[in-house]
Amino acid sequence: MTSTIAFLGTGNMNGAILRGLIAAGHPAESIRATTRTEASARRLTEETGVQARATGADDAANAWAVGTAEVVLLGVKPFGIAELAREISPALRPDAVVVSVAAAITLATLEANLPDGQPVLRSMPNTPFQVGSGAAGLSRGTHAGDEAVAAASAVFAGSGQVIEVPEAQIDAVSAVSGSGPAYAFYLAEAMADGGVALGLDRETAVRLAAATLAGAGKMLSADGADPAELRKGVTSPKGTTERAIAVFDERGVRAAIADGEKAAVDRAVELSVELA
């Protein structure tokens, strides 16, 4: 049986999940969505076929979207999540599974602003859901049983991997995979810049860097792939790649990445306190 799903807010993250869900075969007619403007609502309907209304033009748009929904994804900015939860509470089905895709908003905050007993989950997906290669962490709230977790997972599973983790680990998931696409794009930028410095034209350098990262990503997605073993397979003893990796290690690239992930977690904790 096809679930009815509501997407409240269709920015980068919720929009990626929505498009990935449709690409995986979920019928557009069983999806309702809200956007801020009428223009964006029309554009979303034209591009995807989903029913969409604008909150800026219709005060009841969010209530309309969740009224029959079995799964509701909250995709507005973190500072607006609690207010949105309170707004939709009277219109929610008691068994509707509410999933937040916002960073830093705790399960306790979500549950405090929704009806008692509402099944709630906190998720941390990433934008590659839009191209069928996403990764998401899910953490269940007090009233979310296995059925609720399965319903939420089904929204993501058609276009990416879903891993359930305790809420204490969700910020780490955010640091590794939620922010991770930006790290990959940053690496592509750096690789292209290096190519230009070595004499390649910008277009060629960007194409080579992008294609290389995309291909490496496909190799990593194979079952049982081990990043360390794949790296060793390209790193011939006393060869050019080994020399490059040695420079990265000398410059502390690995440690810098770990430090960056720790900084991302620290910021998520700060935001959780600010938004509580």
The percent of residues in the chain predicted with pLDDT above 90, rounded, is 90
d(Cα 185, Cα 22) in Å, to the nearest integer?
Answer: 25
d(Cα 139, Cα 170) in Å, to the nearest integer?
Answer: 7
Beta strands in 142-269 (DSSP E): 160-164
- Are the C-beta atoms of residues 195 and 204 closer than 8 Å to each other? yes
Kindly report, residue by residue over 44-72, the tens digit of the pLDDT: 999 999 999 999 999 999 999 999 999 99
d(Cα 87, Cα 34) in Å, to the nearest integer?
Answer: 14
Q: What is the DSSP string of 58-117?
A: -TTHHHHHHTT-SEEEE-S-GGGHHHHHHHHGGGS-TTPEEEE--TT--HHHHHHTS-TT
Instruction: State the pTM of this model.
Output: 0.90
d(Cα 177, Cα 135) in Å, to the nearest integer?
Answer: 7
For the chain, give the mean pLDDT.
95
| The domain made up of 180-269 is a member of CATH 3.40.50.300 | no
Query: Two tokens at 83?
Result: 């207010």
Please list the residues that pair with 162 across neighbouring strands. 136
d(Cα 238, Cα 109) in Å, to the nearest integer?
Answer: 55
pLDDT of the residue at 1: 55
Could you tell me the end-to-end alpha-carbon distance of the chain, in angstroms, rounded to an integer?
A: 37
Cβ atoms within 10 Å, residue 234: 12
d(Cα 78, Cα 271) in Å, to the nearest integer?
Answer: 9
Confidence of residue 147 (pLDDT cuts 50, 70, 90): very high
Domain ranges of the chain: 5-166, 180-269
d(Cα 225, Cα 261) in Å, to the nearest integer?
Answer: 22
Query: Two tokens at 107?
Result: 């399960």
- Beta sheet of 160-164, edge-to-edge order: 51-54, 31-35, 5-8, 71-74, 97-100, 120-124, 134-140, 160-164
Kindly report, residue by residue over 77-110, the tens digit of the pLDDT: 999 999 999 999 999 999 999 999 998 999 999 9
Kindly report, residue by residue over 108-132, the tens digit of the pLDDT: 999 999 999 999 999 999 989 888 8
Helix pair 227-234, 202-220: axis angle to 10 deg: 130
d(Cα 55, Cα 61) in Å, to the nearest integer?
Answer: 5
Cβ atoms within 10 Å, residue 182: 12
* CATH class in words for 5-166: alpha beta
pLDDT of the residue at 197: 98
Confidence of residue 228 (pLDDT cuts 50, 70, 90): very high
Short-list 129, 136, 163, 139, CA closest to 17: 129
